[in-house]
Amino acid sequence: MTVDWKQKAKAYQEDYLKDLRALVSIDSERDDAHATDEFPLGPGPAAALAKYLEIGKRDGFKTKNYDNLAGYIEYGDGDQTLGVIVHADVMPAGEGWNTDPFELTIKDNVAYGRGTSDDKGPGLAAYYGLRMLKDAGIKPKFKIRFLIGTDEESNWTGIKHYLDLEPAPDFGFSPDAEFPVINGEKGNTTFVTTFTGEQNGEEDTEFTLRSFKAGLRDNMVPRDAFAVLESDDNERVSDDFTKFLDTYPVSGDSQVTDGGLQIHVIGKSAHGMEPDDGINAGTYLALFLSQYRFTGDAKHFISFIVDKLHDDSRGHHLGINLTDDVMGDLTMNIGIMRYDIKDGGLVNTNFRYPKGMGPADIMKGLTAGATGGQVSQEDDMGPHYVDASDPVVQKLIAVYKDLSGETEAKPHVVGGGSFARLMERGVAFGALFPWTKNTMHQANEFQPIDDLMLAMAIYGKALATLNE
């Protein structure tokens, strides 16, 4: 049967936008302050899940809700299960919007609103792919479960609850990233190194570090860093700092405060999965301070950052650098650095690592490198990889090339993590196209309607092709 999927998608545009409007109007940010037994993540995520299920039921599908945490829309029957995993929750809207983030606004054929790009727009486009398949009378040889999680942006509570009760789908995709096909995701692990052994250095010194503060999240490159230090000669330190700013790619200022001289370094923020896209204000501040003689924890804290972490996103100085042929480099982000004269120091490092190594190797490197420090592991998600020769990858890439016209498209590996990793043969697939700006998690999030319609056609054809 030949189906013109692009043409077909057009006929669904009005219905799609109506449903998208309903989904966007629900503020489905995880809301622990209003969590109850009935709504463990707060009412918003559950309401968005209910909306999805209501849409599925309306269109004649079987649906199921798992305790307001996850649910599915099901089509077909068979021993194997194809999973299409989306999420109904959204990031907090934040500041800086020109329109109401929870009202779908269409301007110049572009849809604005929280979730239009991550993940309500793409998720609903994939659902419409399923609806088109059914309306075209195509019966799948396997069971298709369109799975809806409600906590992707935090702890994956919803989809993990589903997986506690049901087996994982055998293969499938998650429309929660970008096109063409992402067939590998690096491992992701976080370590905390603390320095709390010798608060008071025994030697006399002309410099005392009172506090140091950089970074908000383990997966972001810190833009700002602040230190307060006591010294006999503030003027000299200020002059040194001016010279430092002339030499290095950071800006900043210094000022005398009640607690001592405050130094502020400004770098550039970036996503922690590629620290080279940013400039880490924290490690530069440590570099500046390293020209003075500190003692005890302050000394260990600064030396660790400067000698083992600074300007070394691939972990060479820790001896843990590794490049895998298909998954690429290990990357390291130094997301949070704190020191306080009473409590000591803390350095939070987040690693994205390829196959061929594990958190134990990283632990070894950090432990050897952190003189005077204690290293502990926070969490870990192993690497995920589906071979490029797998029929799932092959079929999806072929559909993408055919309908997008991007004939050179190839599958690739990223440092981020999506629900795709929950399926042994799962890949991330759309819906951000290479020609469209990524506005996920940002103010004024958008997705062009033509992109959404093209994604819908791709998802419809993808489901039909996986069935062949």
Active site residues: 89, 152
Q: How many other β-carbons are positioned within 10 Å of the β-carbon of residue 96?
A: 9
Q: Which two tokens stand for residue 383?
A: 């690497």
Residue 176: CB minimum distance to Zn ion, A: 4
Q: Which amino acid is at 66?
A: Y
CB nearer to Zn ion: pick between 359 and 426: 426
Out of 176, 185, 324, 329, point to the residue binding Zn ion (CB under 5 A): 176
Please work out, in degrees rounded to the nearest 5, the angle formed at the alpha carbon of residue 245 by the alpha carbons of 335 and 319. Answer: 40
Residue 123: CB minimum distance to Zn ion, A: 9
Distance from C-alpha of 350 to C-alpha of 336, rounded to nearest angstrom: 9
CB nearer to Zn ion: pick between 153 and 361: 153
CB nearer to Zn ion: pick between 183 and 280: 183
Phi, psi at 7, each rounded to 5°? -60, -45
Distance from C-alpha of 417 to C-alpha of 159, rounded to nearest angstrom: 14
From 382, 379, 416, select the one nearest 191 (Cα to Cα). 379
CB nearer to Zn ion: pick between 185 and 329: 185
Q: Which two tokens stand for residue 107?
A: 């301007």
| CB 304, CB 218: distance < 8 Å | no
CB nearer to Zn ion: pick between 27 and 176: 176
Considering only the stretches 158-166, 170-178, 212-220, 372-380, report the one whose residues sit in contact with Zn ion under the rule CB under 5 A. Answer: 170-178
The 76-115 contact track toward Zn ion, x by CB under 5 A, reads ----------------------------------------
| CB 189, CB 353: distance < 8 Å | yes
Residue 86: CB minimum distance to Zn ion, A: 8
Question: How many distinct helices (H) and strands (E) make up the chain?
Answer: 11, 24
Residue 441: CB minimum distance to Zn ion, A: 6
CB nearer to Zn ion: pick between 119 and 451: 119
With 0-12 CB in 10 A as exposed, 13-18 as middle and 19+ as buried, what is 398? middle
Residue 339: CB minimum distance to Zn ion, A: 32
Q: Which two tokens stand for residue 460?
A: 């419809």
| CB 88, CB 124: distance < 8 Å | no
Residue 63: CB minimum distance to Zn ion, A: 22
Out of 19, 59, 118, 451, point to the residue binding Zn ion (CB under 5 A): 118
Considering only the stretches 27-35, 47-55, 169-177, 376-384, report the one whose residues sit in contact with Zn ion under the rule CB under 5 A. Answer: 169-177
DSSP secondary structure code for residue 275 in this structure = G
Considering only the stretches 117-125, 320-328, 350-358, 444-452, report the one whose residues sit in contact with Zn ion under the rule CB under 5 A. Answer: 117-125
Out of 27, 119, 297, 451, point to the residue binding Zn ion (CB under 5 A): 119
Instruction: Write out the binding residues for Zn ion, residues 276-335 only, by CB under 5 A.
Output: none
Distance from C-alpha of 425 to C-alpha of 392, rounded to nearest angstrom: 7
Size of the site for Zn ion (CB under 5 A): 3
Residues in contact with Zn ion by CB under 5 A are 118-119, 176
